Structure 1
Amino acid sequence: MGIKTYQNYHVINLWELDVNLVFEHNLSSLLPFVPILKGGGNESIVRQAVIELRANETLTDLEPLLSFFAGFVLDIPLVQQIMRWDMTILRESPWYQQILKEGLETGEKQGLQQGLQQGLQQGLQQESRKLVWKLIDRRFGTLSSDFSLKINRLSITQLEELATELLDLTEINQLENWLQQNSESGNIPLS
């Protein structure tokens, strides 16, 4: 049919739009964005936006959005004072409940993952340490507390390296040299 349609649009950055246009031309749909408009980041302008939002029954649900943007340019206690919000009522709002629920879920997941990872790391280190102690005990018998301290400070990687070395070591001084080299090079952490 050869019919073509075009739609032209122009992106308007809200921070470039003068806040006075909202009030002069009664652009009520922009009231929640007043704090981030050019010249809208002061207390008296935000108070005026709150008054106009509350005057229009269809827009009163947008008050939390206004407070959200006001929080970027004003102190939170001042925003609470302007909005005259009781935190108990706010905590009962669906938005607050959803944000709280998502925060708790995210925190639980991250905490669980971190705990599992740390537990796995510690378990691997314990098992590596047990293997090294079995090899040492079999090869050299009971060692002094100085040796024990140095070996207990080894990382998993170092314990694995030592286990491999222990297959070739035949004398206690070779073990002592290996531990000395690794502790001198800073590879053995102090804690």
Structure 2
Amino acid sequence: TLLQTPNQILQWEFQTLPASKPSLPLRMLKYWVRLKEKYDCPIEQVVIFLKSTRSEKVYTNQLVDTNTSHRYRVIRLWEQDPEQFLANPALLPFATLAFSESPTRLLEQVAAAVDRIEEPLAFTNISACTQLLAGLRFHQRLITELFPEEVMQESVIYQKIIQKGHKLGLLEGKLEGRQEEGYSIVRRLITRRFGSVSDQLLEGIQKLSVAQLEELSEALLDFETVTDIAVWLASHQQ
């Protein structure tokens, strides 16, 4: 989520778990460089971890490598005081994931706060978002007991998810064709830039996903030799 003001950019990165490829610290550095190049203003980066985990990666807030150092802020929701979220209707969905010695009691408090929202559209959408995030922590049965199911179905958030589900069935059928098309485009770019390359390298590229092929097609603009392709490929096949 990117919020731009006249003098600053605030980037929020939401993560359920710390798994990331490339690593989250490297991603945050890449985002910072791109934003700095485009807007040339102060940039504040915040990573918000939603789901409780014991992984040491959620305590990492910087990238340090040779002569490069980049820091960003990390918020672990399960360590946060829920009162700051309960006080603001727009933040109620995050309250479900905040610290509590009695999580069930906390969810009951959130449900009661949502029920007090008078504006109909805000009520349905905040209720839907609250249920979605609560699903990261609570059993569906408990959520259904505290939140009316029909409210969820009326929400534009819920409807958008349903629409995506319908589209997914269509997209899966097209995915294979997109992968073949992406591979063909990347291969033509490589041939035009570097001439012929080894079959082994092409086989590795052919195994990439559509998203990886798109990423490689952009990265090729910065590559100077075939070795750069091999190095990139090795880093994306681990």
TM range (shorter): 0.3 to 0.5
**Greater helix proportion:** 1
What is the TM-score of this pair, normalised by structure 2? Answer: 0.37
What is the TM-score of this pair, normalised by structure 1? Answer: 0.45
Structure of higher RCO (CA pairs closer than 8 Å, 6+ residues apart):
1
Larger Rg over CA atoms = 1
